[in-house]
Amino acid sequence: MRAEIITIGDELLIGQVVDTNSAWMAEQLNANGVELYQITSVHDDKDHIVAALDEAFGRADIVLTTGGLGPTKDDITKLVLCDYFSSHLIEDVHVRAHIERLYRDRPDVLNRLTATQWQVPACAEILPNRVGSAPLMVFRKGDKMLACMPGVPYEMKIAMEEQILPYIQVEIRKTASLKDPRPIIHRTLQVTGIPESSLAILLEDYENSKPEGLHLAYLPKDGIIRLRLSSYGELTEEAMTQWFAQLKALVAGYLIADTDEPLEVMLGRLLKAQGATIATAESCTGGKLAALLNKHSGSSEFYKGSVIAYANEVKQAVLNVDRESLEKYGAVSEQVVAQMASGVKRLLNTDYAIATSGVAGPTGGTPDKPVGTVWIAWATPENIYTECFHLGKLREQVTDRACMKALVRMVKEMKK
């Protein structure tokens, strides 16, 4: 079963909004055994939407659209589809009741524009949008389906999880009666400490010997390379497991993880298993590491807090870094970052701590400590480790990579 996504909205094409929806939807589709063939972003323009629909129906069984379902004039998706399927708008009493309930306490929202939201194409199957006013619509074109969702990420996610994916599962079971569904399998390893090209040379024999239908991809990011094995129905689970084990053995010396689990989740899991806690003291990463550590639910079980010590006086007053070290070695130094780690560990009474201090740039570099220089310290119950990195020239790159370096070493220390 093959799908395509069409994202609708001028904001995507003038760069006002990053399309985060498609990646999330892609992941869900793959997990449900649906191959995503193409993602196309088009303008809020009738001819453009129609052309994209025609092309997508020519290639895929399932077409998903996001966006253009708001009550304002610039949102035209519903009207274009009504026309595309030669239908007309009718009032949907269920949608009306839902919207009236949703905005019960908001008479200001229940206006005549919002009322247009319960007008739906007569030919569409309407699925409930539990958290918003735009109804989800499913259209049929021969044996193909089109599902339309709002572009607001939170609404789209709930729509996919509660309505569209179960609907797609039904579609899959229909075809499954004709032939076995092709399982899509992805397996990922995370490695570090080897250049991408050297890794590829290391894996050359492996790549030459693997079967046609088994794909190996290299995804380098922030100093970590994710190695992904994929099969679109060509391999059995057992064969995949064998090939994956072989790959894992080859890269054992560089391995961080044998899943695609984000490092911050992995670290959280290790801490919870030990009943241990962690804190961070951040200068150059400025809260990014803290935000990563408690991005996921349940972080309060292991994460107690952080001190973001951007200014030197904060490093002294709150983290107890001594003035002499600051003056003699500077804020970006082994001495200071080690004191930051031990300071925050003591202050917040945790088992582990990570500290960062560096020159994120673009300004502030010196010949001695150019932009990209980052000192990191890791405090464990017994020891303090420090390391200096050179992480590039761009502010975002430097801070993202620093967070990854910080997590990789902490995970390694915890696994010891």
**Please, which of residues 211-230 interact with a second copy by CB under 8 A?**
215-221, 226, 228, 230
- Between CA 19 and CA 69, with CA 139 as vertex, the angle to 5 degrees is 40
The continuous run of DSSP H or E covering 335 comes out as helix 334-348
The strand pairing partners of 388, in sequence order, are: 375
Please identify, using beta-carbon distances, which residue of 123 and 330 lies nearer to a second copy: 330
Residues sharing a CB contact under 8 Å with residue 15, sequence separation 6 or more, in sequence order? none
Nearest to 76 by CA among 42, 110, 25: 42
> C-beta of 55: minimal distance to a second copy in Å?
8
Question: Is residue 290 part of the contact set for a second copy (CB under 8 A)?
Answer: yes
How many other CB atoms are there within 10 angstroms of residue 54's CB atom?
Answer: 10
**Should residue 17 be labelled a site residue for a second copy when binding is judged by CB under 8 A?**
yes
Contact region with a second copy (CB under 8 A), list: 102-110, 135-143, 169-177, 246-254? 102-110
CA distance 185 to 169: 17
In the complex, least distance from residue 64 CB atom to a second copy, rounded to whole angstroms: 13
| Spatial separation of the C-alpha atoms in residues 318 and 340, rounded to whole Å | 9
**Strand 119-121 to strand 214-221: parallel, antiparallel, or no bridges (unpaired)?**
unpaired
First to last CA, the chain: 44
Residue 191 near residue 199 (C-beta atoms within 8 A): yes
Query: Smallest distance from the beta carbon of 198 to a second copy, in angstroms?
Result: 6
Residues 119-158 touching a second copy, rule: CB under 8 A, are 131, 152, 154, 157
- Check residue 92 for interaction with a second copy (CB under 8 A): no
Please pick, from the candidates 96, 248, 269, 395, the single residue that binds a second copy as defined by CB under 8 A.
395
Residue of 54, 161, 207, 237 interacting with a second copy (CB under 8 A): 207
User: Nearest-CA neighbor of 258 among 236, 227, 235?
Assistant: 227
Between CA 277 and CA 410 the distance in angstroms is 12
Q: How far apart are CA 406 and CA 384, in angstroms?
A: 13
Looking at beta carbons only, is 59 or 328 nearer to a second copy? 59
Q: Which range binds a second copy by CB under 8 A, 36-44, 78-86, 89-97, 375-383?
A: 36-44
Give yes or no for residue 96 binding a second copy (CB under 8 A). no
Residue from 102, 191, 307, 408 in contact with a second copy (CB under 8 A)? 307
Q: How many residues does the chain have?
A: 416
Cβ atoms < 10 Å from Cβ of 263: 21
x-or-dash pattern for a second copy, window 238-277, by CB under 8 A?
A: ----------------------x-----------------
Residues 40 and 57: beta-carbon distance below 8 Å: no
Asked if 209 interacts with a second copy (CB under 8 A), we say no
Which residue number, 125 or 248, has a Cβ lying nearer to a second copy?
248
Question: 3-state DSSP call for residue 50?
Answer: helix
Which residue number, 174 or 313, has a Cβ lying nearer to a second copy? 313
Q: Which helix (H) or strand (E) holds 51?
A: helix 46-59
Among the residue ranges 159-167, 172-180, 310-318, 335-343, the one whose residues contact a second copy (CB under 8 A): 310-318
| Stretch of 135-143, 267-275, 291-299, 378-386 lying at the interface with a second copy (CB under 8 A) | 291-299
For the segment 318-337, give every residue that binds a second copy (CB under 8 A).
318
The interface region with a second copy, picked from 86-94, 188-196, 246-254, 262-270 by CB under 8 A, is 188-196
Residue 356, Cβ neighbours under 10 Å: how many? 30
Taking the least distance from each CB to a second copy, the nearer of 123 and 131 is 131
Q: How far is the CB of 178 from a second copy (least distance, A)?
A: 25
Compute the distance between CA of residue 280 and CA of residue 133 in angstroms, rounded to an integer: 41
- Tell me how far, at minimum, the Cβ of 398 lies from a second copy, in Å: 10
User: Taking the complex as a whole, how short is the minimal distance between the CB of residue 122 and a second copy, in angstroms?
Assistant: 23
In DSSP notation, 163-177 reads IIHHHHHHHHHHHHT
x/- mask, a second copy, residues 43-62, rule CB under 8 A, reads xx---x---x--x-------
Q: Which of 1, 8, 25, 321 binds a second copy (CB under 8 A)?
A: 25
